[in-house]
Amino acid sequence: MKLLESRLCLWGLASMSFACLLGHFYGWWPMPVFAICVLLPATLLLALTAVRGKSETRFIIVQGALAGLFAAVIYDLFRVPFVLAGKPLFAVFPQFGQLLLFGQLNGDTSFWPQLAGWTYHFSHGAARGLMGAAMVPLCASPQTR
């Protein structure tokens, strides 16, 4: 468990969200395969570490993920006026879902690609927050939190 609690390992596990998408676009691996074989296990390891790890590690994972989710929501709220003005800024999320479910863009914007895409979007936000939290040294002792 000690290795899983290192900041570098936390950062690496969280970065699998980026690797999933970038690797697909560079042609290194299909997104659905990477998501199932790498991203999902990495996410489960982070969740397990958040539950069973030391308090400092739990703090990093939970606070980082919450900060990333919050940032994603705020950024989406910032986009709303542009979407109302006709800009298709939310159109990318069902496309993420298409890539996750089918490995290619196929124009399907039904429920499942929407759900998969928006879930990926928010998990990606949580991952960004966690990556940032893993890079910042904790100044406060656990007693002051």
145 within some domain? no
140 within some domain? no
143 within some domain? no
Q: pLDDT tens digit string along 42-53?
A: 999 999 999 999
pLDDT of residue 137: 80
2 pLDDT band, cuts 50/70/90, is confident
Domain ranges, residue 100: 3-135
The span from the CA of 68 to the CA of 123, in Å, is 9
Q: pLDDT tens digit string along 77-128?
A: 999 999 999 999 999 999 999 999 999 999 999 999 999 999 999 999 999 9
Which pTM value belongs to this model? Answer: 0.88
Total structural domains within the chain = 1
62 within some domain? yes
